[in-house]
A and B are shown apart, each in its own frame.
Chain A
Amino acid sequence: MIDVDHLCLQQGDFRLDDLSLHVPKGKYALLMGTTGCGKTTVLEAIAGLRTFASGRIQLNEHDATYLSPAERNIGYVPQDGALFQTMTVRDNLGFALSIRGQPAAAIKERVEQLAEWLHIARLLERRAVGLSGGETQRIALGRALANHPPVLLMDEPLSSLDEETRDRMIELLKELPRREKVTVLHVTHSRHEADQLGDFIFRLRDGRVEVIKADGIASQNITELRS
């Protein structure tokens, strides 16, 4: 569950006032909006990477407002993947588990399970450099999911992919809530991604969140969005 209540933040001239959104447990939500409207800022605030003036953030029914990013127990996939290039793909995938001191056998099992699902098993022993956009995003997704976080935050994970790779990624992402039992908030500006993936669709406009689709039911606004 992701619950953002009355979030206010300001960065330079950019300002968000009284922003609220709610994603129930196990649902896939998309946050849409034009470039520069503050989608990434909201996602970073939920991840604990950005301070805000007021408001409350609850993740998985726990107040996370004042928790550090590490304490929030989330998965985060940034737009560029931000892989750890000095490590192998295997070490990238197992990072969240190794930092928590999990036994090597458990790390190996989880990494190989994720690698098989994400079709990256052949890359495991390779250093995380010179990978294609699709490979990078699948590794970043696997790394974020390794520790079974109840909440997954993704910042435009498909924006740099070609159409065919994006369609394959969308098929993987559709399985996410059921397979990993995770609540997802996915930032995008693509109507296609929203239509394909979202149980919930929110649109951020002029510092306010509009609900476009809630639990599969389109509000009247979806017509406006499509037009």
Chain B
Amino acid sequence: MKPRLPADWVFYLCLSILGGSYVVLIVAMIAADLFFTTPDHLLDALNKPQIRYAIKLSLISCTITTILSLWVGVPMGYLLARTNFWGKTSIDTVLDIPIVLPPLVIGLSLLILFQTWPGQFFEKNIFGVTFQIPSVILAQFSVSAAFAVRTMRVTFEQISPRTEQVAMTLGCTRAQAFWRVALPAARRGLLTAATLSWARALGEFGPILIFSGATHMRTEVLSTTVWLEFSIGNLEAGIAVSLLMIAAAVVVLILTRTLGLRGTGLV
């Protein structure tokens, strides 16, 4: 291979410095958390029943949110990628709203929604939502689903429709071609959408605070625990819970990336 010219090295060095500064910031933040806390702080936090409850509720609500996000993300992503219909641009814009809106506004909007008569009817006749566990899931879902839709749309756009067309000439209906050909081909995108939804749900705070409140042993999730501990001056517990959230996020990222690459010959 031809040796690179010195000018190339300068170019790559500049890119590395500019891009690497962000990596350094992330690592420095995590390192600061690690140095601030001790194993005792972590154990103390884990021994608190309200924190154990928050961990349990976070894990359950994030998983339900992820399933619901994929439930709407896959069909909507497929429709946007494969079909043209009247109002598509408007729907596309609407789907971006949860991504760009301030989280507090989403929480406030959900709260107002359940003050309207359909919301009140739902709460009285089906099940209670506001300031209860379903509100946590709905608040997380309102934001996470938008990321799932975006990811699945890009995934289906990158898969050639030609394979589905071939499947239809081989005897499939469009639905069979979707289930047997398009969806298996989209599995890495599905895992990415699931990871993004789960991680986004875990970090959701603003909508939950407004729509669900921050009540110990009721609607407290890990993100609200950090805020509750911080607000009473217990910084050690707040940092310990933050580290638990970082660890959970890293585990999910590693798991999904490994599972997503399995069978591709890359792992």
Q: A84-B181, A86-B184, A99-B180 are in contact. Are A49 and B172 (CB under 8 A)?
A: no
Residue among B167, B168, B181 making CB contact with A68, cutoff 8 Å: B168
Q: A82-B160, A86-B184, A99-B176 are in contact. Are A49 and B171 (CB under 8 A)?
A: no
Residue among A85, A87, A99 making CB contact with B172, cutoff 8 Å: A99
- In the docked arrangement, what's the CA distance between A70 and B177, Å? 11
CB of A70 within 8 A of CB of B162, answer no
Per-residue 0/1 for A74-93: is the Cβ within 8 Å of any B Cβ (1 yes, 0 no)?
11101010111111000000
- In the docked arrangement, what's the CA distance between A143 and B171, Å? 12
CB of A95 within 8 A of CB of B162, answer no
User: B170's closest neighbor in chain A, by CB?
Assistant: A96
Say yes or no for B163: interface residue by CB 8 A criterion.
Answer: yes
**In the complex, what residues of A have CB within 8 A of residue B167's CB?**
84, 95, 99
Interface size class of A (residues with CB under 8 A): 20 to 34
CB of A82 within 8 A of CB of B162, answer yes
CB of A82 within 8 A of CB of B166, answer yes
CB of B169 within 8 A of CB of A49, answer yes
CB of B169 within 8 A of CB of A75, answer yes
Say yes or no for A134: interface residue by CB 8 A criterion.
Answer: no
Say yes or no for B56: interface residue by CB 8 A criterion.
Answer: no
Say yes or no for B109: interface residue by CB 8 A criterion.
Answer: no
**In the complex, what residues of B have CB within 8 A of residue A84's CB?**
163, 167, 181, 184-185
**In the complex, what residues of A have CB within 8 A of residue B171's CB?**
70, 96, 99-100, 147
Say yes or no for B234: interface residue by CB 8 A criterion.
Answer: no
- In the docked arrangement, what's the CA distance between A70 and B165, Å? 10
**In the complex, what residues of A have CB within 8 A of residue B173's CB?**
68, 70
How close is A110's CB to chain B, nearest CB, in angstroms? 13
CB of B160 within 8 A of CB of A49, answer no
Residue among A48, A80, A100, A144 making CB contact with B162, cutoff 8 Å: A80
User: A86's closest neighbor in chain B, by CB?
Assistant: B184
Interface size on B, residues (CB 8 A): 19
Say yes or no for B187: interface residue by CB 8 A criterion.
Answer: yes
Per-residue 0/1 for B178-196: is the Cβ within 8 Å of any A Cβ (1 yes, 0 no)?
0011001101000000000
How close is B140's CB to chain A, nearest CB, in angstroms? 31
Residue among B166, B180, B184, B263 making CB contact with A76, cutoff 8 Å: B166
CB of A95 within 8 A of CB of B185, answer no
Q: Tell me the chain B residues, 244-267 only, with Cβ under 8 Å from chain A.
A: 263
Say yes or no for A55: interface residue by CB 8 A criterion.
Answer: no
CB of A78 within 8 A of CB of B168, answer no
- In the docked arrangement, what's the CA distance between A83 and B184, Å? 13
CB of B185 within 8 A of CB of A86, answer yes
- In the docked arrangement, what's the CA distance between A23 and B172, Å? 26
**In the complex, what residues of A have CB within 8 A of residue B172's CB?**
70, 99
How close is A83's CB to chain B, nearest CB, in angstroms? 8
CB of A85 within 8 A of CB of B185, answer yes
CB of A95 within 8 A of CB of B170, answer yes
- In the docked arrangement, what's the CA distance between A143 and B172, Å? 14
CB of A74 within 8 A of CB of B181, answer no
User: A143's closest neighbor in chain B, by CB?
Assistant: B170
**In the complex, what residues of B have CB within 8 A of residue A127's CB?**
263
B163, B169, B173, most chain A CB atoms within 10 A: B169
Q: Tell me the chain A residues, 99-123 only, with Cβ under 8 Å from chain B.
A: 99-100
- In the docked arrangement, what's the CA distance between A147 and B263, Å? 29
CB of A69 within 8 A of CB of B169, answer yes
How close is B158's CB to chain A, nearest CB, in angstroms? 13
**In the complex, what residues of B have CB within 8 A of residue A96's CB?**
170-171
**In the complex, what residues of B have CB within 8 A of residue A86's CB?**
181, 184-185, 187
Say yes or no for A47: interface residue by CB 8 A criterion.
Answer: yes
How close is A170's CB to chain B, nearest CB, in angstroms? 23
15 example contacts (A-B, Cβ-Cβ < 8 A) are as follows A47-B169, A70-B170, A75-B169, A76-B166, A76-B170, A80-B162, A83-B163, A84-B184, A84-B185, A86-B184, A87-B184, A96-B171, A99-B172, A99-B180, A143-B166
Identify the 7 closest CB pairs spanning chains A and B, nearest first: A76-B169, A96-B170, A86-B184, A69-B168, A82-B162, A99-B171, A69-B169
In the complex, besides A84-B181, A96-B170, A96-B171, 16 extra interface pairs with C-beta distance below 8 angstroms are A47-B169, A48-B169, A49-B165, A49-B169, A70-B168, A70-B172, A70-B173, A78-B162, A80-B160, A82-B160, A82-B165, A84-B184, A86-B181, A86-B184, A86-B187, A99-B171
Chain B positions near chain A (C-beta within 8 angstroms): 160, 162-163, 165-173, 176, 180-181, 184-185, 187, 263
